[in-house]
Structure 1
Amino acid sequence: MSYGISAALQAAVFGALSEDAAVASLSGGAVHDALPPGPMPPLYVVLGPERVRDASDKTHDGAVHDFTVTIVSQGAGFGAAKALAAAVSDRLSGADLVLSRGRLVALRFLRARASRRDGGREIELWFRALVDAETP
């Protein structure tokens, strides 16, 4: 096992979310893998932390990546944030993403946490990706 597939997985997740019509419509195209400088839009998506552990066996090198996608809203209610979170979850849950290195075996939703943050709202979605180091 290595951490080598992490960047390929992140790029595939970012691409999938950036190119999804529902996510783009609800977020106004504000999907980020790192927050840009300056004022932020009222509703956006940002890729977040990940935890990775070995999932290798005798025949394959693999890893389990638990990662977050966070929806941030400056609005007073959760409605818009929850609609965007649902679109993100719909796009990623069970997705068959193509990685530039290795291959995605499975991708599923794990859990979510909705909270108030700095006068706005935040929904943190956790996903689990199982990756194999071998490219098909």
Structure 2
Amino acid sequence: MSYGVSGALQAAVFTALSADTALTTLVGTAIYDAVPVGTVPALYVLLGSETVREASDISGEGAVHSFTVSVITTNPGFTSAKAAAGAVSDALQDAELTLSRGSLVSLRFERAVAQRIDSASARQIDLRFRARVQDD
């Protein structure tokens, strides 16, 4: 197994989301891998946690990455968050991402959780994806 493809996968996911017209129409450039210091937009996308497990086989080294992309908003209700979450899902489901190291075998949506946060003043939708990578 190798964790070495993790950075390349994250960069490719960030690039795909940043290049998606449907998503950027909703959130602009507010796609982050860390919440910026200071004032944040009312609606943004945040790359989140990742769990990786061994998936090597006879063809070579590989891993399965389960990672979260969150949509967070202070807008009232879930409407804007669900629109952005749908765009994230559409952009990543079965995406053919080019990685700077290794290769992407598959990328699938697994599940989502929508909840109120910050004493119900904000909304967050956590989308979980599963990526199978091979370290060529």
Long gaps (5+) in structure 2: none
Within 1, Cα distance between the matches of 2:105 and 2:94?
10
Within 2, Cα distance between the matches of 1:107 and 1:58?
21
For the 8 Å contact 1:52–1:66, the answer to whether it is kept is: yes
Q: Secondary structure at the match of 2:82?
A: helix
- 1:114 and 2:117 are equivalent in the alignment: no
Runs of 4+ in 1 over 4 A off after TM superposition: none
Q: Which amino acid aligns with 2:122?
A: G
Q: How many residues align?
A: 134
Instruction: Tell me the TM-score normalized by structure 1.
Output: 0.97
Instruction: Tell me the TM-score normalized by structure 2.
Output: 0.97
Alignment of 1:86-105 (within 5 A): 86-105=86-105
Within 1, Cα distance between the matches of 2:2 and 2:122?
38
For the 8 Å contact 1:104–1:132, the answer to whether it is kept is: yes
Q: Find the counterpart in structure 2 of residue 68 from structure 1.
A: 68
Q: Secondary structure at the match of 1:50?
A: strand
Q: Find the counterpart in structure 1 of residue 36 from structure 2.
A: 36
Q: Find the counterpart in structure 2 of residue 128 from structure 1.
A: 130
Long gaps (5+) in structure 1: none
Task: Give me the identity figure in percent.
Answer: 57
Within 1, Cα distance between the matches of 2:59 and 2:90?
32
Per-residue deviation, 1:19: 1.0
